[in-house]
Amino acid sequence: MSSSTGNNTYHQHFDVIVIGGGHAGTEAALAAARMGSSTLLLTHNIETLGQMSCNPAIGGIGKGHLVKEIDALGGAMAIAADRAGIQFRTLNSSKGPAVRATRAQADRQLYRAAIRETLENQPNLSLFQQACDDLIVEQDRVVGVVTQMGLKFSAKTVVLTVGTFLGGQIHIGLENYQGGRAGDPPANNLAKRLRELPVRVDRLKTGTPPRVDAKTIDFSVMQEQPGDQPTPIFSFMGDGSDHPRQVPCYITHTNERTHDIIKSGLDRSPMYSGIIEGVGPRYCPSIEDKVIRFADKNSHQIFVEPEGLTTHEVYPNGISTSLPFDVQVELVRSIKGFENAHITRPGYAIEYDFFDPRDLKQSLETKYIHGLFFAGQINGTTGYEEAGAQGLVAGLNAALQVQGKDSWAPRRDQAYMGVLIDDLSTLGTKEPYRMFTSRAEYRLLLREDNADIRLTEQGRKLGLVDDARWARFQAKMEAIESEQKRLRGTWLYPNHAAADAINKLVKKPISREVNAEELLRRPEITYKDLVAIEEIGPGLDDAQAAEQVEIQTKYAGYITRQHDEIARQLRHENTLLPATFDYASINGLSNEVIAKLNQHQPETVGKAARISGITPAAISMLLVHLKKQG
Ligand code: FAD
């Protein structure tokens, strides 16, 4: 492992070097180290490990699903969110289980501390604080990195997760300056070097609202929004005992005066005066965007969210802006409850380099430089959860490569992570990509509640899941199975002692012999109600297992149908296409299809089918061609 070297080369040779200690980098480094690779996490500043650049919140619709999947594979995000969450909610709780999602408002400092503690206690992982300025590439393989002070680290693989820092340019009104995010330097040397590599680079932008001192806010005129009870839990390993004190959020609104102030400042807006060229997140627009795009609305909701338990700063979620500071002050003070508000940090927008993710394999290794993996915001995504998910996949694949093993990434029908990576590597993105449940075609299977059932066994095989998690998972699976068996074997009939209690719960009284599983299938009976009947109970204590029994029973028909559909799709999903191929040589393909296939060079038939404009007929011709080639 160690090698003796000159002054400027670090003595230890690493299996994996991860550059950047954000959300992608920490999951990447932890995953590689859990799999036994000697790993170095090289980051600008150890104090900012796990720093949330924007809103201190984890989860939400689609994003909560990713957090649970990261957890199912042994990652850190869910446990850190449980330890830092100060207001938890289950979004869409009145809707079906597929779209229910957990969200936690987090204490920023507690979150950072939880991530740092996890990193510092991870065997095989070393931390080092320095900016990485260069990659060492020999022929077409990365072999190490060089830091700002000229120190060289050598490694078999490198995972790059440098977020919004590459060529970062911060804008507040017509003023702009270089930065990676507020308070941090940009990574300009690295950006310059990466632009020399054969990867396509473009610019995106994102923004953040001004932060406000809670001591100057009148909460009494706002609507209080407490967390849910019982408090939701993120990690499959959690029991809620590590949640800190819970506090409420508040809701207020912009008004017509706010909108007039915004409109009056647009001539000094970097977005509307054409200074910012990068495309921003469509689903997380700035307040000036919302006022222009939804001109008929005279009010927008603002969630007033605490930044932590030991700070007075609040995050007004919904007024992200890059308007000049004087306009920010005026617009904030026009909002109900904010009349005397003091801004502690101005809102701003940031433009940064990102790489076209179509230049990546499904493993997140770059197609043109062996051993170099990209994860997080640099792949065109936005969000901590999207970054963490990619980091985990990149880190585990770097470790697999070191072990000389085949790469692995979940398929679209296995995980939102699979949807994310497949969307990025197949279709690319023109705007910051965020996850939604609507992006998945097999929503009913990709639920938050079953992320462990979908992924933990695979995680164990890969070496990502430790003994404690594995034992807990197995115990849960056994509990589910034996309870399902018990319900199937519990027979009830019209004269049964439990009949009266059952008939009180159901719309149609039981008129023939039924088992408890059949009863649970009825929409009006919950598992909790069913096992509360003395003759049927007592049921499971394990809440996670009980939830599975209920969902798997109630949705059995739909779930089976989705599995059948997946089996049909899979027949061609993984059929490989040649690595470089001129599709003009296939008879019958239209010019548009040829151009798209030649441009994307998809790895598999499944990926080809998901490129927009590629018709089922074109796929049939491809399959005929492949068959002929034998
Ligand atoms: P980051 O969290 O940015 O981490 C990058 C890490 O790399 C940092 O630790 C940095 O110090 C380190 N680093 C960078 N360059 C080097 C180098 N050369 N050498 C060593 N270390 C380096 N997300 C949303 O979902 N919604 C939003 O509204 C939203 N708004 C945002 C607004 C702003 C202003 C910013 C900056 C981000 C916003 N985000 C938002 C995005 C969210 O913060 C990111 O998606 C997420 O943090 C990306 O994680 P990451 O790990 O890819 O990068």
- Poorest-pLDDT segment among 287-291, 392-396, 454-458, 570-574: 570-574
Tokens of 134: 């260069």
Q: Is 62 in the pocket of ligand 1 (CB under 6 A)?
A: no
Element (H, E) at 393: helix 384-402
Q: Is 169 in the pocket of ligand 1 (CB under 6 A)?
A: no
> Which 3 state secondary structure label does DSSP give 164?
coil
Q: Is 21 in the pocket of ligand 1 (CB under 6 A)?
A: yes
- Give tens-digit pLDDT for 383-429: 999 999 999 999 999 999 999 999 999 999 999 999 999 999 988 99
- Which ligand 1 atom is nearest residue 284's CA? 28
3-state secondary structure 598-628: HHHCCCEHHHHHCCCCCCHHHHHHHHHHHHH
Domain boundaries, the chain: 211-349, 476-563, 574-629
pLDDT of residue 438 exceeding 90: no
Residue 2 has what pLDDT? 35
Is CATH 2.30.30.100 what the domain over 574-629 is classified as, yes or no? no
Q: Which of 17, 194, 382, 429 to mutate for ligand 1's pocket (most ligand atoms within 8 Å of CB)? A: 382
Q: Is 605 in the pocket of ligand 1 (CB under 6 A)?
A: no
Distance, in Å, from the CA atom of 40 to the CA atom of 122, rounded to the nearest integer, reads 11
Distance, in Å, from the CA atom of 344 to the CA atom of 340, rounded to the nearest integer, reads 13
Q: How confident is residue 134, by pLDDT bands cut at 50, 70 and 90?
A: very high
From ligand 1's centre to the CA of 285, what distance in Å?
Answer: 17
Residue with tokens 């000094």: 268
Rounded mean pLDDT, 43-62: 96
CB 368 within 8 A of CB 153: no
Q: Which of 384, 374, 414, 439 is nearest to 573 (CA)?
A: 414
Tokens of 428: 């690319």
Sign of CA dihedral 53, 432, 134, 168: negative
pLDDT of residue 21 exceeding 90: yes
Residue 272 has what pLDDT? 86
Binding residues for NAD(+): 280-294
4-23 burial, b at 16+ Cβ within 10 Å, e below that, comes to eeeeebbeebbbbbbbbbbb
Gyration radius from the chain CA atoms: 26
Q: What is the mean pLDDT of the chain?
A: 94
- Poorest-pLDDT segment among 427-436, 498-507, 531-540: 498-507
Nearest CA to ligand 1 atom 14: 162
pTM of the entire predicted model: 0.92
Nearest CA to ligand 1 atom 24: 383
Q: Which of 433, 430, 435, 434 is nearest to 202 (CA)?
A: 430
Distance, in Å, from the CA atom of 372 to the CA atom of 355, rounded to the nearest integer, reads 13
pLDDT of residue 629 exceeding 90: no
pLDDT of residue 205 exceeding 80: yes
Q: How confident is residue 24, by pLDDT bands cut at 50, 70 and 90?
A: very high
Rounded mean pLDDT, 44-71: 97
Q: Is 527 in the pocket of ligand 1 (CB under 6 A)?
A: no
Q: How confident is residue 63, by pLDDT bands cut at 50, 70 and 90?
A: very high
Residue 125 has what pLDDT? 98
Q: Which of 103, 208, 377 to mutate for ligand 1's pocket (most ligand atoms within 8 Å of CB)? A: 377
Q: Which of 17, 23, 321, 354 to mutate for ligand 1's pocket (most ligand atoms within 8 Å of CB)? A: 23
Distance, in Å, from the CA atom of 593 to the CA atom of 606, rounded to the nearest integer, reads 15
Q: Which of 272, 390, 447 is nearest to 31 (CA)?
A: 390
Q: C-alpha 593: how far from its chain's center?
A: 32
pLDDT of residue 580 exceeding 90: no
- Give tens-digit pLDDT for 362-379: 999 999 999 999 999 999
- Residue 132: CA count within 13 A, CB half-sphere: 28
Q: What length is written for the chain? A: 630
Element (H, E) at 251: strand 249-253
- Which ligand 1 atom is nearest residue 24's CA? 51
- Residue 199: CA count within 13 A, CB half-sphere: 30
Residue with tokens 């598992």: 527
Q: Which of 146, 151, 162, 320 to mutate for ligand 1's pocket (most ligand atoms within 8 Å of CB)? A: 162
Q: Which of 51, 158, 165, 386 to mutate for ligand 1's pocket (most ligand atoms within 8 Å of CB)? A: 165
Q: Is 390 in the pocket of ligand 1 (CB under 6 A)?
A: no
Q: How confident is residue 190, by pLDDT bands cut at 50, 70 and 90?
A: very high
pLDDT of residue 4 exceeding 60: no
Give Dmax (Cα) for the chain.
87
Domains 211-349 and 476-563 share a fold: no
Distance, in Å, from the CA atom of 112 to the CA atom of 141, rounded to the nearest integer, reads 34
From ligand 1's centre to the CA of 162, what distance in Å?
Answer: 7
- Poorest-pLDDT segment among 361-370, 469-478, 590-599: 590-599
- Give tens-digit pLDDT for 257-308: 999 999 999 999 998 888 888 888 877 789 999 999 999 999 999 999 999 9
pLDDT of residue 194 exceeding 90: yes
The better pLDDT of the pair 590, 221 is held by 221
Q: Is 206 in the pocket of ligand 1 (CB under 6 A)?
A: yes
Nearest CA to ligand 1 atom 28: 284
The better pLDDT of the pair 568, 39 is held by 39
Cα 414 to Cα 383, 441, 487, 566: the distances in Å are: 21, 11, 28, 10
Binding residues: 20-25, 280-294
Distance, in Å, from the CA atom of 445 to the CA atom of 404, rounded to the nearest integer, reads 32
Pairing status of strand 125-129 against strand 85-91:
unpaired
Q: What is the CATH number of domain 476-563?
A: 1.10.10.1800
- Which ligand 1 atom is nearest residue 147's CA? 19
From ligand 1's centre to the CA of 51, what distance in Å?
Answer: 8
Q: Is 208 in the pocket of ligand 1 (CB under 6 A)?
A: yes
Q: Is 53 in the pocket of ligand 1 (CB under 6 A)?
A: yes
343-357 burial, b at 16+ Cβ within 10 Å, e below that, comes to bbebbbbbbbbbbbb
Rounded mean pLDDT, 23-49: 98
Residue 5 has what pLDDT? 47
Rounded mean pLDDT, 28-45: 98
- In CATH, what class is 211-349? mainly beta
Rounded mean pLDDT, 328-340: 98
Q: Is 211 in the pocket of ligand 1 (CB under 6 A)?
A: no
Cα 323 to Cα 71, 261, 345, 350, 612: the distances in Å are: 38, 10, 13, 12, 36
Amino acid at 98: A
Judge if ipTM > 0.85.
Answer: yes
From ligand 1's centre to the CA of 181, what distance in Å?
Answer: 7
Distance, in Å, from the CA atom of 220 to the CA atom of 113, rounded to the nearest integer, reads 32
Element (H, E) at 353: strand 348-355
- Which ligand 1 atom is nearest residue 132's CA? 19
Amino acid at 62: G
Pairing status of strand 132-138 against strand 372-374:
unpaired
Amino acid at 16: V
Nearest CA to ligand 1 atom 3: 163
Q: Is 42 in the pocket of ligand 1 (CB under 6 A)?
A: yes
Distance, in Å, from the CA atom of 611 to the CA atom of 603, rounded to the nearest integer, reads 12
Rounded mean pLDDT, 213-222: 98
CB 518 within 8 A of CB 511: no
3-state secondary structure 39-90: EEEEECCHHHCCCCCCCCEEECCCHHHHHHHHHHCCCCHHHHHHHHEEEEEE
CB 428 within 8 A of CB 356: yes
- Poorest-pLDDT segment among 296-310, 550-564, 570-584: 570-584
From ligand 1's centre to the CA of 377, what distance in Å?
Answer: 7
Distance, in Å, from the CA atom of 602 to the CA atom of 592, rounded to the nearest integer, reads 15
Q: Which of 553, 416, 536, 578 is nearest to 480 (CA)?
A: 553
Distance, in Å, from the CA atom of 488 to the CA atom of 337, rounded to the nearest integer, reads 57
Rounded mean pLDDT, 512-532: 94
Distance, in Å, from the CA atom of 262 to the CA atom of 260, rounded to the nearest integer, reads 5
The better pLDDT of the pair 504, 550 is held by 550
Binding residues for FAD: 20-25
467-484 burial, b at 16+ Cβ within 10 Å, e below that, comes to eebeebbeebbebbeebb
